Amino acid sequence: MREKPAFSLPGGAMLLLLLVAIAGTLFVLMSSAQMQVPAGVILAMLALGVEVICLRGLLIVNPNEGQVLQLFGTYVGTLRDQGLRWVNPFNSKRRISLRVRNFETSKLKVNDLEGNPIEIAAVVVWQVVDTAEAVFQVDSYENFVQVQSESALRTMATSYAYDSHLAGQMSLRSHIAETAAELRKEIQDRLAKAGVQVVEARISHLAYAAEIAGAMLQRQQASAIIAARQTIVEGAVSIVQMALDQLSERKVVELDPERRAAMVSNLLVVLCGERSPQPVVNAGSLYS
């Protein structure tokens, strides 16, 4: 079932017309009563009843709002024209907000791609784009959006690891934009049948579950230490190479392979050590 526009008339003009008609009918009713014309009284009362019923056809449509109209259980269309409108007074009306809305899912506990238990939540921004599908395809489109969003979040969370340990591997923590796009697509696929468009979906909370948070913190610290040590060693090797090249080019001192190896070892110890080195001054010969 797709949305279609509903027939309506300008409400201001219809209100003025009905007020004039009611005033004329009241005048006829009072005149007929004074002249004691039963037929005129009956017809005036019937006309007055019809005019009062027609007043029920007036409705106000606010900005970013739709009025879903049904006639005896049959969908006749959706009214989106803003302002005071007039429709068939026998139509039943249901007000649907077309504004952009958002909600945050509850914190879900799921297992990531590597089987680690994590806590995850997301913020979903959405709006109704097809009022007919939103009203007639699902029982409660607001509850449908919430349940399907959490289901899509669970599915997406199990498809990626919390953190990547290999170069180029996508993860929930390191590839925020990519996972957000995947989450939005996953939710949109589920909500398309309800006439809802997902404007944005992003992860708002991501953490390891409490039972493994300590162990994972130690793992992250170890990975950081290893990465830092690797950077230090690469820098130290570059400095040692530069020092040896400078000594050779400027002919400051000529070192045999054994002394060269000793110098490299000492420099690496000084550059890679965690504590400040304690220098030992050699007062004798270099080869003593």
**Residue 252 or 173, more confident:** 173
Per cent of the chain over pLDDT 70 is 81
Over range 194-222, report the average pLDDT. 77
CB 264 within 8 A of CB 242: no
Long-range contacts, 184-187 (Cβ 8 Å, 24+): 186/152, 186/155, 186/156, 187/124, 187/148, 187/149, 187/152, 187/153
Distance, first Cα to last Cα, the chain: 97
What's residue 16's pLDDT?
93
What's residue 48's pLDDT?
87
Give the model confidence (pLDDT) of 102-140 as tens digits. 999 889 888 888 888 888 999 999 999 999 999 998 888
Antiparallel, parallel or unpaired: β 58-61 and 83-86: antiparallel
Domain boundaries, the chain: 9-94, 101-208, 213-272
| pTM of the entire predicted model | 0.67
Over range 260-277, report the average pLDDT. 67
Correct CATH for 101-208 of 2.60.40.10, 3.90.1150.10, 3.30.479.30, 3.30.1380.10? 3.30.479.30
Give the model confidence (pLDDT) of 39-89 as tens digits. 878 888 898 888 899 999 899 999 989 999 999 989 999 999 888 999 999
For 182, the enclosing helix (H) or strand (E) is helix 176-191
Two tokens, residue 148: 């399907």
Over range 261-283, report the average pLDDT. 65
